Amino acid sequence: MTYKFLSLALLSALGLGHAAAQSTYSAAGKKVQVFTTAQGTSQRLAAGAALSFQPAPQPVETQVCVFVDPAHSYQTLLGIGGALTDASAETFAKLPKAQQQEFLQAYYSPSAGIGYTLARTHIGSCDFSSASYTYIKEGDKSLKSFSVKPDEKYRIPFIKQAIAAAGGKLTMFVSPWTPPAFMKTNHDLLHGGKLLPEFRQSWADHYVKFIDAYQKQGIPIWGLSVQNEEMATQKWESCLYTAEEERDFIKEYLGPTLQKGGLGDKKLIAWDHNRDLLYQRASTVLDDPEAAKYIWGIGYHWYETWTTSGPLFDNERRVHETYPNTNLIFTEGCVENFKFDQVNDWKLGERYGNSMINDFNAGTVGWTDWNVLLDEKGGPNHVGNYCFAPVIADTRTGKLIYTNAYYYIGHFSKFIRPGAKRVATTTNRDWLQATSFVNPDGKVAVVVMNSGDKPQEFQLWVKGQAASTTSPAHSIATYVID
């Protein structure tokens, strides 16, 4: 069959639209801008000499290549960003004004910073709050006392400044850590417990109250997840749901309540926990049409490694293959067990690079880091669960410390913009990992990470054209083809 005279609409209906539309892509005559971050150097998102493409015949197996094929495209990027928590907001408030502005520009400016476009915040307190709190008086089932006043001192002003720094728009989703204690089986905000059946409607109404309150404060909410980390009994704010309990809460209470409250357009995310149970949880809620009709996507975290397992990227692929019309979104990840003397460890960034490349290649549409900012203790955190953030504020000196995780994330967020479509990318050496996207402006951004101990010469090979370059040891680079 020839597609020459078929309309794009018909091609799209055949499932061939973008691939066929891009089939004429040629790298001939194009230049490649290179931006590199490398261990043992001063390079941090550093611009290098431009590369040129030359005709390249069939490569042999001894030639190391990163192959990019813009003729075949996949998911569309929603955005990349991080969580705006109480801990981040309180730490930000302790910084001198000049460092506050530096921080906002570093994260949210697409030109001077790394251009974050996605954000998450918490409904009520979480471990990264200075203390536990709720928005209602104890026992107030009717929610008449509901108020987001606890967020007005630090978090709401912080979020508003982030939105302004991002140009007036951040795609924001929200997640609860726990219902109020009286609504739970253990009558405790902390230590797990479950939502009591008689409070399911009241709790569903609580999401609507929160979203409405934030939107009245000038903070638009794009979406929400049902519950943070539904299988973890934590020493901090937590609440447990089996897959069946989550399914039934969505279809019988939360989904209908959002619709009734005029919030049916908000994107609902199920699971919001680790990759280990990802398929089992997704299949349980998505195989029920009455629950699935309310669900935009399945959220996941990267902490399955607490079991000593490696990251379970194949579980993402199974979900994406089985439910291609449901979105995958990375909703949280951070490096745990903060130690100030490790803020310069290179492994911090490599964990991010490994996850982001594999998550995007598995079909993920959005990627959300955890706290955007923490202090020199890895907090504040009211239960001592201190963690790393890409940017650490030393509140003793007022200075900002940029870990290499900030730069590794920036190799994606700065150069791969919302609306970009992932395109086919492979490598022929396992120490080189890569992913690529075509941006809305037509530029192709290729991210290549070398996790090996040696520099690696390779060819960036695109449809019979190749640009020769070298990936330094323990580095990440973005190649922008224009």
- Catalytic positions are 229, 332
Bond preceding residue 96 cis, omega within 30 of 0: no
**Alpha-carbon distance 214 to 403, whole Å?**
31
**Alpha-carbon distance 10 to 197, whole Å?**
49
Pairing, β 118-123 against β 444-450: unpaired
**Alpha-carbon distance 25 to 131, whole Å?**
55
**Alpha-carbon distance 369 to 341, whole Å?**
22
Q: 17 is written with which tokens? A: 């639209």
**Alpha-carbon distance 432 to 82, whole Å?**
26
Only one residue has tokens 């049409």, namely 289
User: Is the CB of residue 139 less than 8 Å from the CB of residue 145?
Assistant: no
Those residues with Cβ within 8 angstroms of residue 401's Cβ, 6 or more apart along the chain or in another chain: 343, 391, 392, 393, 394
Only one residue has tokens 């192709």, namely 444
**Alpha-carbon distance 462 to 365, whole Å?**
24
Those residues with Cβ within 8 angstroms of residue 21's Cβ, 6 or more apart along the chain or in another chain: 8, 11
